[in-house]
Structures are given as structure tokens and as C-alpha cells.
């Protein structure tokens, strides 16, 4: 299904290869679908994935966009209004967050990337640099994350710009200069609010907080100093296990991002919700959303630390 536009629509110019237009392109990719097929089998996994795509399609339509196509576990949508596309991305993630996962499997998560700019429309499809940049954004995004380019922020109202944060610059194929990468912060937890685009003042600033839970205890850190994890009693969070080093890992706030750094002998294991666990040894990784940290061994084997990155109004 294509995005219906009449011949007199603003910004549309007929070309021999198609029509030039200004359009927003959004990609949504279901994370964890490969593992889902392994756990549930083909039929049940396909049903779960199709259900997620139906939900995403309904959100796109409700925000004035149109689904261009779905391929496997990925959706491509077009929006004439960048602000509506922004709101649609938020609504998709919130719908995914409230959906129960398939029985016997980890809840599915969505990676979203979008961009707005000139494109060529041919039939119901779109081509060009804007599509390429949007595709690159979804490749960069992790499960449960919304990533867009810094170029689009100037097209958004203040309430939407207030809930974005610049991450870095990244090379994009076909572009001579590195593209600014921006994350849309949307998650909510209790009294800590990550996104409230309807009520937030443009002056509101969000401060990332880190919540750690282990062995029935829970602590909140504001980033005023480095947080230490390890076997030694002097650490902020003590995990008494023979595979845990005395000073196993540290957590620190770097440019509004919580960073986990491993200093250990046996390494750490990090799993963001909806993603497979990955090893980390004498290296660092940015934390986002929520997940588990295993010290010295996978968290499932014991001694795992549950983390949540939450944002509070300053």
C-alpha cells in the first residue's frame, strides 16, 4: 500500500524515473525473531511476528502514514509530516512494551530508525538518500530504541526536540560527511519519566539515573561518582562469587550516557531486554533501557545484576 498523493500535492515534481517529494521514511525491525523461530517453531513464531507487524501497521495509519511494504520481520512506512512520524515511533514502542510475549519465549522488541528529506517515489515505493539514511538509522538502533538523524530535529516542535539526545556522528554510505545520530528517549518507569511529549515544557531537561537490583536489594545512582561492582566488600554493589573479581566492573556517567566498563579476569555478560546476551571483557559498552549484567559468568547461572536506565526531570 503506497502513500496516496494527488498530482497537485506540494513538493511533488514529476520525473522520468518517478516523482520527487519530501517524505519521512521509517523502518521498524523486530529484534529477537531468529531466536523466536528456534524456541517456538515456524508456525507460532510467524504468528507472533505477524501480530507485531499488524500492531505497527495500525499505529502508522493512525498517525497519517502508510506502510510501503513489510519484508520478513521488518516494516517500511512513509509519512508526509515528520512530527507525526516521531509520534508514531513513540506509539509503536509503547505498544510493544505493553504486549505480552509469546508463551515460552522472550518478549519481542522493536528497533526503529527514521529520517525525513527528498526521495523519489516510484509506484508505491520510495528510493534515494532519505531511504538509505533511514535504513542506516534502524541498523544502528538496539532493541527498544528509536534512532534518527540530527538533521530532522530542526523540523520538530520544541516538545519533541526536548526528548532527544545526540549520541555521536556516524558515516552513512553515499554521504560525504558523518551524520549526527540522535536517540528519541521514550521509556517510562514509575515516577521517573523518559518521555511525555504532550505535557513537557521545552525547557525540561532529563537526567539519566541508574537503578541496580541484585539479591533482593535495589539501589539508585545519579551519576555523581563512579559505581563499582565486585567481590570486595568495599564495592557499591557486592556480588560474592568465586568467578567475580575483587573490583570486577565500574559504571559511570559519560556525556549523559551510562557506560559499563569491565576490569575483570573472567569478563562480564550483558543482555539488553529482547536481545541475546553478549560477552564483555576489558572493554566498555553504553547502557540503555533495561537488562542484566552477569559478572564472571552468564546471569542465568547466578549472581546477575538487573539494571534500568531511567530519566528524571531536573
Domain map of the chain by residue range?
Answer: 13-193, 206-313
Q: Cell digits for 276?
A: 541475546
End-to-end CA distance of the chain: 44
What is the average pLDDT value for the chain, to the nearest integer? 81
Whether pLDDT at 1 is above 50 = no
Q: Is pLDDT of 96 > 50?
A: yes
pLDDT above 90 covers a percentage of the chain that reads 41
Extract the runs of DSSP E, i.e. beta strands, from 66-177. 66-71, 74-79, 109-122, 125-127, 146-149, 164-170
Q: Render pLDDT for 242-291 as a digit per residue (tens, 0 to 9).
A: 999 999 999 998 767 789 999 999 999 999 988 889 999 998 888 888 89
pLDDT of residue 288: 82
Fold adopted by 206-313: Tumour Suppressor Smad4 (2.60.200)
Residue 199 has φ and ψ, to the nearest 5°, of -110, -10
Q: How many CA atoms lie within 13 A of 294 on its CB side?
A: 19
**Average pLDDT for residues 11-27, to the nearest whole number?**
72
Contact 296, 270 (CB under 8 A): no
Residue with cell 525491525: 29
Q: For residue 102, is pLDDT > 80?
A: no
Would the CATH topology of 13-193 be identical to that of 206-313?
no
**Phi, psi (deg, nearest 5) at residue 142:** -100, 175
Residues 122/134, Cβ–Cβ less than 8 Å? no
What is the pLDDT confidence band of residue 62, given thresholds at 50, 70 and 90? very high
For residue 199, the model assigns a pLDDT of 34
User: Are residues 235 and 229 in contact, defined by beta-carbon separation less than 8 angstroms?
Assistant: yes
* pLDDT of 107 strictly over 80: no
Three-state secondary structure of 147-201 = EEEHHHHHHCCHHHHCCEEEEEEECCCCCCCCEEEEEECCCEECCEECCCCCCCC
User: Which of 17-21, 51-55, 134-138, 222-226 is predicted least confidently?
Assistant: 17-21
Stronger pLDDT, 244 or 48, i.e. the higher one: 244
b/e burial code for range 44-59 (CB count within 10 A of at least 16 → b):
bbbebbeebbebbbeb
pLDDT in tens, 173-208: 555 566 788 889 886 543 333 333 333 334 444 578
pLDDT in tens, 127-166: 999 999 999 888 888 888 899 988 888 899 988 888 888 8
Between 255 and 303, name the one with better pLDDT.
Answer: 303
Report the alpha-carbon angle 215-186-190, nearest 5. 45
Protein fold of 13-193: Alpha-Beta Plaits (3.30.70)
Give the pLDDT band (50/70/90) at residue 306.
Answer: very high
Q: How far apart are CA 91 and CA 94, in angstroms?
A: 5
CB 263 within 8 A of CB 252: no
Q: Which of 90, 306, 82 is CA-nearest to residue 193?
A: 90
Averaged pLDDT for residues 4-25:
60
**108 against 158, higher pLDDT:** 158
Tell me: the pLDDT tens digits for 78-94? Answer: 999 999 999 999 999 88
**Does the structure show a pLDDT above 80 at 312?**
no
pTM above 0.75, yes or no: no
Amino acid at each position: 500500500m503506497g502513500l496516496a498523493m494527488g498530482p497537485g500535492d506540494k513538493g511533488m515534481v514529476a520525473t522520468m524515473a518517478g516523482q520527487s517529494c519530501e517524505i519521512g521514511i521509517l523502518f521498524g525491525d523486530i529484534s529477537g525473531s531468529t531466536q523466536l523461530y528456534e524456541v517456538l517453531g515456524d508456525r507460532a513464531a510467524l504468528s507472533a511476528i505477524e501480530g507485531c507487524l499488524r500492531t505497527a501497521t495500525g499505529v502508522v495509519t493512525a498517525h497519517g502514514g502508510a506502510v510501503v511494504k513489510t519484508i520478513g520481520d521488518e516494516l517500511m512506512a512513509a509519512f508526509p509530516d515528520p512530527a507525526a512520524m516521531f509520534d508514531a515511533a513513540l506509539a509503536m514502542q509503547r505498544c510493544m512494551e505493553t504486549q505480552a510475549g509469546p508463551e515460552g519465549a522472550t518478549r519481542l522488541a522493536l528497533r526503529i530508525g527514521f529520517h525525513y528529506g527528498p526521495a523519489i517515489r516510484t509506484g508505491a515505493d520510495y528510493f534515494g538518500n532519505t531511504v538509505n539514511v533511514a535504513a542506516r538509522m534502524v541498523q544502528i538502533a538496539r532493541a527498544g530504541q528509536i534512532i534518527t538523524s540530527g538533521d530532522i530535529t530542526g523540523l520538530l516542535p520544541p516538545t519533541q526536540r526536548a526528548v532527544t539526545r545526540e549520541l555521536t556522528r556516524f558515516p552513512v554510505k553515499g554521504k560525504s560527511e558523518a551524520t549526527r545520530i540522535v536517540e528519541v528517549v521514550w521509556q517510562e518507569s514509575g515516577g521517573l519519566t523518559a518521555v511525555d511529549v504532550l505535557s513537557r515544557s521545552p525547557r525540561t531537561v532529563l537526567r539519566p539515573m541508574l537503578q541496580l537490583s541484585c539479591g533482593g536489594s535495589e539501589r539508585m545512582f545519579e551519576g555523581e561518582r563512579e559505581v563499582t561492582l565486585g567481590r570486595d566488600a568495599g564495592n557499591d554493589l557486592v556480588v560474592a562469587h568465586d568467578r567475580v573479581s575483587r573490583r570486577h566492573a565500574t559504571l559511570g556517567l559519560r556525556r549523559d550516557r551510562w557506560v559499563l566498563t569491565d576490569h575483570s579476569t573472567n569478563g562480564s555478560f550483558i543482555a539488553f531486554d529482547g536481545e541475546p546476551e553478549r560477552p564483555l571483557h576489558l572493554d566498555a559498552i553504553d547502557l540503555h533501557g533495561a537488562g542484566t549484567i552477569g559478572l564472571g559468568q552468564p546471569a542465568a547461572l547466578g549472581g546477575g545484576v538487573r539494571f534500568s536506565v531511567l530519566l528524571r526531570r531536573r
